[in-house]
Amino acid sequence: MLLAPGEWQIVRFTLAACALSTVLILPVGLAIAWPLARHRWPGKLLVETLVTLPLVLPPVATGLLLLKFFGRRGPLGNFLHQQLGIDIVFTWRAVVVAAAVMSFPLLVRSARVGFQSVNQRLEQIARTLGASNARVFFTVTLPLASRGIVAGIVLAFARAVGEFGATILVAGNIPRKTTTLSLEIFESVQLGHDATAYRLLLLCIVIAFGAVWLSEVLMKRSQLR
Amino acid sequence: MKLEIRQLVLPLEQFAIELDVDLDNARTAIFGPSGSGKTSLLEIIAGLRRPQTAEIRLDGQLFESTAQSYSLPIRSRRIGYVPQDDSLFPHFSVRRNLLYGSKGHANDRVLSFDHITEFLEIGSLLHRDVRSLSRGENQRVAVGRALLSAPRLLLLDEPLTGLDAKLKQTILSKLQSLHGEFGTPILYVTHDPAEAIQICDEVVMIESGRIIRRGDPRKLLA
Amino acid sequence: MIKAYRVAAILAAIIGLHHANAAELNVYAAASLTDAMNEVAAEYGKQSGDKIIFNFGASSLLARQIKEKAPADLFFSADEAKMDDLQKAGLIATDTRRDLLSNSLVIVVPNDSKATIASPGELLGKMEKIAIADPKAVPAGIYTKEYLSRLGLWEKLEPKMVPTENVRAALAAVESGNVDAGFVYKTDANISNKVKIAFSVPAEKGPAIRYPIAIVKDSVNKTGAENFLHYLESENARKIFEHYGFIVKF
pLDDT tens readout for residues B140-154: 999 999 999 999 999
Same domain, C97 and C128: no
Range of the domain at C150: 105-200
- CA A43, A45, A51: angle at the middle one, nearest 5? 105
- What residues have CB less than 8 Å from C41, skipping those under 6 apart? C27, C52, C54
**Four-CA torsion A189, A190, A193, A195, nearest 10 degrees:** 0
Beta bridge partners of B153: B79
Q: Do A174 and C162 touch (CB under 8 A)?
A: yes
Query: Residue B78 and residue A132: Cβ atoms within 8 Å?
Result: no
Q: Which residue of A has its CA nearest to B96?
A: A225
Q: ipTM higher than 0.85?
A: yes
Residues of C whose CB is below 8 A from A67: 176, 178
Residue A225 has pLDDT above 50, yes or no: no
- For chain B, give the secondary structure using H, E and C: CCEEEEEEEEECCCCEEEEEEEECCCEEEEECCCCCCHHHHHHHHHCCCCCCEEEEEECCEEEEECCCCEECCHHHHCEEEECCCCCCCCCCEHHHHHHCCCCCHHHCCCCCHHHHHHHCCCHHHCCCEHHHCCHHHHHHHHHHHHHCCCCCEEEEECCCCCCCHHHHHHHHHHHHCHHHHHCCCEEEEECCHHHHHHHCCEEEEEECCEEEEEECHHHHCC
> Is A71 inside any structural domain?
no
Q: Which pLDDT does position A192 carry in this prediction?
A: 81
DSSP state of C92: B
Query: What is the SS3 assignment for A164?
Result: coil
Q: Say whether pLDDT at C21 is over 50.
A: no
> What total of structural domains would you count in chain C?
2
Q: Say yes or no: C73 and C155 in one domain.
A: no
Alpha-carbon distance of B48 to B27, in angstroms, equals 22
- Beta bridge partner(s), residue B213: B205
Within 8 A of C128 by CB-CB distance, chain A residues are 87
Contact C140, C211 (CB under 8 A): no
Q: Is A174 in contact with C137 (Cβ distance < 8 A)?
A: no
Beta bridge partner(s), residue B171: none
Q: Do chains A and C touch (3 or more CB pairs under 8 A)?
A: yes
Best of A128, A136, A137, A141 to disrupt the B interface (most B CBs within 10 Å) is: A128
Which of B61-75, C5-19, C156-170, C235-249 has the least mean pLDDT? C5-19
Distance CA C59, CA C80 (A): 10
Q: Is residue C206, in this structure, part of any structural domain at all?
A: no
Are residues C163 and A172, on separate chains, in Cβ contact within 8 Å?
yes
Q: How far apart are CA C75 and CA C97, in angstroms?
A: 10
Contacting residues of C for A174, CB less than 8 Å apart: 161-163
The answer to whether the CB atoms of C61 and A173 lie below 8 A apart is: no
A221 touches chain B (CB under 8 A): no
A132 in B contact zone (CB under 8 Å) = yes
Interchain CB contacts (distance < 8 Å): A and C: 35
What CATH number is attached to the domain comprising C52?
A: 3.40.190.10
The 10s digit of each residue's pLDDT in A93-140 is 999 999 999 999 999 999 999 999 999 999 999 999 999 999 999 999
Residues in B closer than 8 angstroms to A223, CB to CB, are 91
Contact B57, B7 (CB under 8 A): no
pLDDT, tens only, C199-213: 999 888 888 999 999
State pLDDT tens for residues B173-211: 999 999 998 899 999 999 999 999 999 999 999 999 999
**Boundaries of every domain in chain B:** 3-220
C28 membership: H or E segment, kind and range: strand C24-30
pLDDT (mean) for B164-171 = 90
Q: Which residues pair with B58 in a beta bridge?
A: B3, B61
Q: Is residue A20 part of a domain?
A: yes
Q: What DSSP state is assigned to residue A3?
A: P
Give residue B26's pLDDT band: very low, low, confident or very high (50, 70, 90): very high
Per-residue confidence (pLDDT) for residue B104, from 0 to 100: 61
Q: Which amino acid is at C183?
A: F
Q: Is the pLDDT of residue C8 over 80?
A: no
Q: How far apart, in whole angstroms, are the C-alpha atoms of residue B100 and residue B95?
A: 9
What pLDDT, on the 0 to 100 scale, is given for residue C20?
Answer: 47
Q: Which residue in A124, A129, A146, A224 has the most chain B C-beta atoms within 10 A of its own C-beta, making it the best mutation to test that interface?
A: A129
Total number of domains in chain A: 1
pLDDT band of C13, cuts 50, 70, 90: low
CATH number among 3.40.50.300, 3.60.150.10, 3.20.20.70, 1.10.240.10, domain B3-220: 3.40.50.300
**What is the pTM assigned to this prediction?**
0.82
- Residue A2: the pLDDT is 67
Is residue C76 included in any domain, yes or no? yes
Q: Are C116 and C168 within one domain?
A: yes
CB contact under 8 Å between B93 and A225, yes or no, is yes
Average pLDDT of span C14-36: 78
